[in-house]
Structure 1
Amino acid sequence: MKEEIMKKSTKNILAVLSAAFMSFVGILTETSLNVTFPTMMKEFKVSLDTIQWTTTGYLLMIAIIMICSSYLNDRFTARQLFIIACVGFMVGSVISAIAPNFPILLLGRLISALGAGLSTPLMFNLITEIMPRSKWGVYMGIAGLVVAMAPTLGPAFGGITTFYLNWRWIFVFVTIFALIVFVAGTPVIGKYHDQVKSSFDYLSFITLAAAFITLTLGVNQISYGMANPLLWILLVVTALLVWAFVKLSQKSSKKLLDLAVFKQKAFVFGALAYFLLQFNNIGISFVLPNYIQIVGKQSSLVGGLVLLPGSIIAGLLNPYFGSLYDKRGAKLPLYLGGFFMALSCLLFAIFGLNLSAMMIIIFYGIMMMGHRMSFSNTMAEALKVETGKLRADATAVCQTSQQLAGSVGTTILASIMSVWQKQGHGSYTMATAQGSQAAFCFTLLMSLIIMFSYWKMFRAEKAK
């Protein structure tokens, strides 16, 4: 009997790890192309505004797929979702690797978004479904390590691969890795609950997906100035689409996403903090490699590697931060992590015009320490207030917002930098430094909102 329990426990752990590795490789490619943009712009003869959609479009597609992750979790087995995620990612990556032009490259990226779009919610659903509640903190820590560390390793992976080989090899390597995960994971992931064959709310899905698209297109207009009418038109359209989605959800018997999760104030503030943590993480991971190359006059290899030390050190401590949550509760890791995040953004803002490579390594290390300490623990605390079936919907909200945060964070910080670059005052190098400093100030504001969200979340929990 004991041997049977041990065998089942081992199989469950392997199931979570398989989904985690698939999620890792999917998220890794979110940012690995950032340092390859100059090379691809020359090869495909397109502008930066066009080529950046290989990252923004990928993130956006992941967010759109995650909208229906709760429905998919009910409708299909974990094994079926895992297989679709792996096959979709591999097919898309092969298309991207052999793409003769930009449209085919973008098509491949959008198809490969199935990988992270399906496997990331699957990973978190498996943790809450098959792992004991007392171990959630540790496994959420492992999952948080995957979600948070992969995008910061992306620039280093992309920079090294492009510098020594070619950007196309990025897709070759991730396809091989995904194939190994597919072969190893398929036998250990099974069926953990009965499937519900409910109808899908296509109208709500299209409405919310359109809201995500118009939001991303809207914030992209910031680079043309706040007085740009298209910016405000798109944001108003986004607001109308969100309102329409809420009304449709209230009337429809086919729930794409159960909005009852938002009745819990603690969850709302926790999800907001989770969104902004990833906003800062992905946004700054975009700014720093560009700062190093344009302002610091370094190669794309250095631009990618400068983020590596902080990511590795903080990443290795991630399981400990999860264990800290299990033993000491949420307040210590969340408040302390939020403080480190705010401190790093403040240092980046103060020294933003003259950042050396060593300063970036140290400041980014502090930021990663704060991010790792609070990121996965924020989600664990937010999910704690939801019960039963609503937990899958809450997971879908968090994971969708996390991907949307990456897309919006990259777009907004890039737009802020672009405002200074387009002013034409002084050199392009100085304009980039000034734009980066402004972007850092914006992330500092987001960090303060994170701290405020934690305070409100804990107050809401206490009031229950």
Structure 2
Amino acid sequence: MNAASSGSAPSNVDLSKIKRGPIVFALIIGAFVAILNETLLGNALPDLVQELGVAYSTIQWLSTAYMLVIGVLVPVTAVLQQWFTTRQMFLSAMILFFAGTLIAAVAPGFKLLLVGRIVQALGTGLMLPVMMNTILVIFPPDKRGGAMGLMGLVIMFAPAIGPTISGLILDSLSWRWLFILVLPFAVFSIIIAAVFLKNVSTLTKPKVDVLSILMSTIGFGGVVYGFSKAGEAGWSDPEVYWSIIVGGVFLLLFIWRQLMLKDPVMDLRAFKYPMFTLVTILLFVIMMTLFSSMTMIPLYLQGALFMTAFKSGLVLLPGGVVNGVMAPISGKLFDKFGPRVLVIPGLAIVVLALYLLTTFDSSSSTGYVIFVHIVMLIGISMVMMPAQTTGLNQLPPNLYPHGTAILNTLQQVSGAIGTALFISIMSNGTKDYMKSSADPSSPAEIANGVVAGVNNAFWIGLVIAVLAFVIGLFIRRTQAPQGQPSGSPGMH
């Protein structure tokens, strides 16, 4: 692949004259409403079960399908960004998201509500890689940390406040308002983007390999579906292991085909750059820890400490706020000092937090839970964006769309794997405890059963966090090949 066929910054756009502020603002608003939506529905699921008259195993598809669609769509975004302009991609994404939100808001039953969620997810899956790729193109490497930090604020803060906002809304309004209140923000983002967002990418229009897209869809879809289903049905369910096996086979075929093609859908030659490869592995491991902890802590708060969904959302809010504040600070520090000063101490803090999580029991105070959660998210904020920026900085500009697509795809997959793995460990731990319980129907023993399961899961989380720490020791500051500046096309 050469520069002629795959540049990233167009020769006809003078990036020095582009107003970065309005572009970043448009991206942030869009990202906020899309990512907020991933956790906004969690607290509403019990209400929806009653109102729509469906089982919990059915209603969970409102969350699973969202993650599944994003996991399937993101790998294709690398090639889409070479066919459509930045404006076209982002505006299409936000219009899809708006349409999905509107469908969900007026849905008379479960089926149309699920359609709305799938359309929303199509918008989110298109937007996240475009957002990251745009920042890589419009900011030089020495300024990217701060910009990525702002994105980190949104990416971490939005899902953290989702449960709290939804708890507030559900206390006084129907579940439909979870969608109705998002609509004005989506419209605002579309207007801002239409006015200020400029195209910053080259349209090379490479040949689209339909077979690769089919392999990617079955591969990533099968793996995400299988692991998502495992949390509910257990690992011995044929639907679970066959989905993972079929998905795994198609992923191997997809990888083999990408290495054979001249213009691959997802250019795996990004893995030739050692720091990008290291960061990809590190982020895969750390995202497993993050997603699964975010699932486990509310289960512990509601199952062992008997909190309401709203109160458990409030307990998680301070950590989300601290993480949101820390993300841009980490970005600025990254620009000044490089990744090691942040990533290694950050991973050490995550290890400490996971150890503290294993000490939770049925009498732990709310203050202690809030403290441990804040500690964990401070560590995560020191790792996430600095590591991601370090890995992407080493790539030449023509690989930016592929690098961002790879990272976003693997984060979805690792989230699904981590959540399913931890929920199954927790469920088995709880079942084992209840089997040996003298009075399995007493509230105290039910709480102790949840604690036993959660502690098992967090011990595994601690092992994964230690692995992440060891990987993080090898991280180094990077730059584009042969000192290539951001925005200059070419690959050697």
Global fold match (TM > 0.5): yes
| 1:259 equivalent in structure 2 | 268
User: Counterparts in 2 of 1:248-397, with a 5 A limit?
Assistant: 248-397=257-406
- The alpha carbon displacement at 1:452 in A equals 2.0
Work out the CA distance in 1 between the residues paired with 2:27 and 2:326. 21
- The alpha carbon displacement at 1:337 in A equals 1.0
| 2:488 equivalent in structure 1 | none
Residues 228-263 of structure 1: per-residue CA shift (max 9 Å, x gap): 565444333232111111122233344111110112
| 2:465 equivalent in structure 1 | 447
Work out whether residues 60 and 213 of structure 1, in 8 Å CA contact, stay in contact via their aligned partners in 2: yes
Q: What CA RMSD, in Å, does the superposition of the two structures yield over aligned residues?
A: 2.4
- The alpha carbon displacement at 1:28 in A equals 0.8
Work out the CA distance in 2 between the residues paired with 1:412 and 1:452. 22
Q: Which residue, out of 395, 403, 411, partners 1:402?
A: 411
Greater shift in the superposed pair: 97-106 or 228-237: 228-237
Work out whether residues 65 and 117 of structure 1, in 8 Å CA contact, stay in contact via their aligned partners in 2: yes
| 2:96 equivalent in structure 1 | 88
Report the CA distance shift for 1:309/1:243 in structure 2 as closer, same or farther (over 3 A).
same
Work out the CA distance in 2 between the residues paired with 1:417 and 1:164. 33
Residues 300-332 of structure 1: per-residue CA shift (max 9 Å, x gap): 110111111111123112211111111111111
Report the CA distance shift for 1:234/1:422 in structure 2 as closer, same or farther (over 3 A).
farther
Work out the CA distance in 2 between the residues paired with 1:281 and 1:458. 23
Work out whether residues 35 and 289 of structure 1, in 8 Å CA contact, stay in contact via their aligned partners in 2: no
Residues 162-208 of structure 1: per-residue CA shift (max 9 Å, x gap): 12212211111111111111112211112223312223222212212
| 2:38 equivalent in structure 1 | 30
- The alpha carbon displacement at 1:283 in A equals 2.1
Q: Which residue, out of 114, 126, 133, partners 1:125?
A: 133
SS of structure 2 residue aligned to 1:192: coil
Report the CA distance shift for 1:192/1:217 in structure 2 as closer, same or farther (over 3 A).
closer
Work out whether residues 100 and 116 of structure 2, in 8 Å CA contact, stay in contact via their aligned partners in 1: yes
2:109 counterpart letter in structure 1: N
Work out whether residues 141 and 393 of structure 2, in 8 Å CA contact, stay in contact via their aligned partners in 1: no
1:74 counterpart letter in structure 2: Q
Work out the CA distance in 1 between the residues paired with 2:449 and 2:262. 53
SS of structure 2 residue aligned to 1:68: helix
Report the CA distance shift for 1:192/1:43 in structure 2 as closer, same or farther (over 3 A).
same
Work out the CA distance in 2 between the residues paired with 1:241 and 1:456. 32
Work out whether residues 346 and 444 of structure 1, in 8 Å CA contact, stay in contact via their aligned partners in 2: yes
- The alpha carbon displacement at 1:459 in A equals 11
Work out the CA distance in 2 between the residues paired with 1:267 and 1:290. 35
Matched, 1:154 2:162: yes
| 1:434 equivalent in structure 2 | 452
Report the CA distance shift for 1:45/1:434 in structure 2 as closer, same or farther (over 3 A).
farther
Q: Which residue, out of 117, 135, 153, partners 1:109?
A: 117
Work out whether residues 97 and 120 of structure 2, in 8 Å CA contact, stay in contact via their aligned partners in 1: yes
Work out the CA distance in 2 between the residues paired with 1:253 and 1:117. 25
Work out the CA distance in 1 between the residues paired with 2:123 and 2:319. 26
2:462 counterpart letter in structure 1: L
| 1:244 equivalent in structure 2 | 253
Identity of aligned residues (%): 29
Quick check: which one's helix share is greater?
Answer: 1
- The alpha carbon displacement at 1:267 in A equals 1.4
- The alpha carbon displacement at 1:61 in A equals 1.0
Q: Which residue, out of 183, 187, 195, partners 1:179?
A: 187
Unpaired segments ≥5 residues, structure 1: none
1:449 counterpart letter in structure 2: L
Instruction: Give the TM-score, by structure 2 length.
Output: 0.87
| 2:421 equivalent in structure 1 | 412
- The alpha carbon displacement at 1:350 in A equals 2.1
Instruction: Give the TM-score, by structure 1 length.
Output: 0.92
Residues 214-240 of structure 1: per-residue CA shift (max 9 Å, x gap): 223332336655555654443332321
Report the CA distance shift for 1:30/1:429 in structure 2 as closer, same or farther (over 3 A).
same
Work out whether residues 234 and 424 of structure 2, in 8 Å CA contact, stay in contact via their aligned partners in 1: no
SS of structure 1 residue aligned to 2:82: helix
2:257 counterpart letter in structure 1: L
- The alpha carbon displacement at 1:444 in A equals 1.5
Residues 71-120 of structure 1: per-residue CA shift (max 9 Å, x gap): 12111111111111111001101111122222211111110013321222
Work out whether residues 57 and 232 of structure 2, in 8 Å CA contact, stay in contact via their aligned partners in 1: no
Work out the CA distance in 1 between the residues paired with 2:127 and 2:477. 33
SS of structure 2 residue aligned to 1:186: helix
Work out the CA distance in 2 between the residues paired with 1:225 and 1:65. 26
SS of structure 2 residue aligned to 1:389: helix
- The alpha carbon displacement at 1:379 in A equals 0.3
Report the CA distance shift for 1:446/1:167 in structure 2 as closer, same or farther (over 3 A).
farther
2:179 counterpart letter in structure 1: F
Greater shift in the superposed pair: 381-390 or 420-429: 420-429
- The alpha carbon displacement at 1:146 in A equals 1.5
1:339 counterpart letter in structure 2: A
- The alpha carbon displacement at 1:460 in A equals 11
- The alpha carbon displacement at 1:31 in A equals 1.3
Greater shift in the superposed pair: 23-32 or 269-278: 269-278
SS of structure 1 residue aligned to 2:358: helix
Unpaired segments ≥5 residues, structure 2: 1-13, 483-492
- The alpha carbon displacement at 1:285 in A equals 1.8
Work out whether residues 206 and 263 of structure 2, in 8 Å CA contact, stay in contact via their aligned partners in 1: yes
Work out whether residues 20 and 120 of structure 1, in 8 Å CA contact, stay in contact via their aligned partners in 2: no
SS of structure 2 residue aligned to 1:351: coil
Work out whether residues 90 and 178 of structure 1, in 8 Å CA contact, stay in contact via their aligned partners in 2: yes
